[in-house]
Chains A and B, each alone.
Chain A
């Protein structure tokens, strides 16, 4: 599969025909969807919580400059350093120079979508530094040299048999005859292999789910505890995250912490929430000696003041992805981008460009489930519609859409022609769909390959309206 968002239509078609994806995608509803629904039902007034989350994030997005400056001052006061990266290349350079200054040869990594976005690992490898992913899912796909297929479950697309094969291939020093049929055996093997890496790594890189400006803290939520071993055991800790992750203070974080795990995995709280503020303090028993935060813009600030600004509220919970019928049919790799599903469709055309990622915004039925489950009430379909409008206005829309819309517009401006055409079409479709359903039409093989169309009753809406008046 090609890692290029422009190849989305071809990739999506290939994914639809990939039988290996079906069992994984089936788990979206039974695991993520059901878990979220139960967690939301158990919480008192979840709507009020979502509104509070929206307001906290809206305040942050509209005060980003102040909050980032306050965050920087708080980190400095604790003896840490903040670095600002305009784009992916600058972020990579900054991180490399921190690692080189620390004399680091190996670096453990907690899960970070921003480091995927800036393609950090290949860059570090090319510069003689070995990055080791330690989140189990990330570790598996790093061994397989694949990108994540889901923002919180990177190895979502794989079966345990595929993971076992990957481990046998990678861990050649272990007994080839060891049993790896149980999931827990796989988990324990990864635990043993990665513990050595934690203990010998020179530096650790984590992402951040939130930054708290008043305290100068980066907050991560994990279930495995890998992020903590990444921060606490090596000498240097680097946090890499987007500029939009900052909020005013820890009380705001406490509210968002009620939203994030419930929306993501259906947990009332993740097993670990780690508040990481600066290097080891005076008298503290352990922790890193150096603490750096790399703030990455990479196309975020340019969304401020646009129709897509609300997408900056996102807390990357993946609820929209887990409830999306499009993601549910094709999985994550088809998108060819770090962010997939509805959040990718709303974010990628803005962060990259409409020319590059316009397909993502077109791949939506506008069913609206993403907006229904979004913990910070992002109007995702509205933002996708905005990117479609930008694409059309820029002459970048697919030819079939332009031509189809052209024909429709021509008729719609001529009421008599429209009435005639519509009634003709309604009668033809009624004839074809004798059983009440149209199964195929010429020229529309692609559309009908995976869909049926309910046959019209024979009269157009306009005709029925006139008759009833």
Chain B
């Protein structure tokens, strides 16, 4: 018998009883102003969360974030992303993957209010690695795409699960040295989220 058959046979031979499929669990409901709840939860995880009235306010917000972190006026935007047409005065735009000290701008198709989480299904124009390569990630999110819980995101994925689904709740951190939190372990040291109200 090969490994597969041996393992399956071992499981079947020893099993005494089977428990039924449990009824679906319902988490305490997340209700109310979902963008507000989302912003509060994610801000508590060391992210810079800002509310904008329209996409027209995005360039000024990006410039302000870069200035506030003393970073060069240069951002990386993925090729083929819906931000490809974004125009920024006095900010250089690059298309190649960001390095460990660069800034990247991404779009989050979904976000989860329960935990303050951005949800990024990988796809065309949405490279998964860009959430981990830069030192600063600026995520643009439409207020209407904020849902209550992870189950809602899973149900809303248009063509099922892509090869990678990243859930991001704050900048990269580690507690591995003396159990004390430090930001910027491997991924971004700073995460900024621009929530754009739908006009």
Our verdict on whether A and B bind, yes or no, reads yes
B175 contacts the other chain (Cβ, under 8 Å)?
yes
In the complex, the answer to whether A229 meets B132 with C-beta atoms within 8 Å is yes
Inter-chain contact B8/A191, CB cutoff 8 Å: no
Q: How far is the CB of B72 from chain A (nearest CB, A)?
A: 18
Q: Does A44 contact B (CB under 8 A)?
A: yes
Whether B199 is near chain A, meaning CB under 8 Å from some CB there, is no
Contacts of B63-100 to chain A: CB distance below 8 A: 78-80, 100
Q: Which 4 A-B pairs have the closest CB atoms?
A: A225-B187, A44-B28, A137-B176, A224-B185
Q: Give which listed residue, B17, B25, B45, B78, contacts A52 with CB less than 8 A.
A: B25
Cβ contact within 8 Å between B163 and A271: no
Nearest CB of A to B21, in Å: 6
Residues of B within 8 A of A (CB): 2-4, 6-8, 10-12, 14-22, 24-25, 27-28, 41, 45, 78-80, 100, 115-117, 122-129, 131-133, 149-151, 154, 160-180, 182-188
Q: Which range contains the number of A residues in contact with the other chain?
A: 35 or more
User: Contacts A272-B187, A277-B163, A285-B127 known; A62 to B18 CB distance under 8 Å?
Assistant: yes
Q: Hey, which chain B residues are within 8 Å of A287, CB to CB?
A: 122, 128-129, 163-164
Q: Say whether B7 contacts A274, CB under 8 Å.
A: no
Which residues of A sit under 8 angstroms from B14, Cβ to Cβ? 301-302, 304-306
A208 at the B interface (CB under 8 A): no
- Write out the residue numbers on chain B whose beta carbons fall within 8 Å of the beta carbon of A198: 186
List residues of chain A with CB within 8 A of the CB of B151. 251, 254
Query: A interface vs B, CB < 8 Å?
Result: 24, 27, 31-32, 43-45, 48-49, 52, 55-56, 58-59, 62-65, 68-69, 78, 83-86, 90, 134-137, 140, 153-156, 158-160, 163, 183-184, 186-188, 190-192, 194-195, 198, 215, 217, 223-226, 228-229, 231-233, 243, 248, 250-251, 254-255, 257-258, 265, 268-281, 283-287, 291, 295, 297, 301-302, 304-306
- A45 to B28, alpha carbons, bound, how many Å? 8
Contact of A228 among B12, B166, B178 (CB under 8 A): B166
Check A285–B19 contact: CB distance below 8 A: no
Cβ-defined partner of A183 (8 Å) among B4, B123, B171, B182: B182
Identity of the chain A residue whose Cβ is nearest the Cβ of B41 in the assembled complex:
A268
Query: Which residue of chain A has its CB nearest to the CB of B191?
Result: A271
Given contacts A43-B28, A49-B25, A136-B177, contact A228 B8 (CB under 8 A): no
Decide: A225 and B163 in contact? CB cutoff 8 A: no
**In contact, B10 and A232 (Cβ under 8 angstroms):** no
CB distance from A226 to the nearest CB of B (A): 5
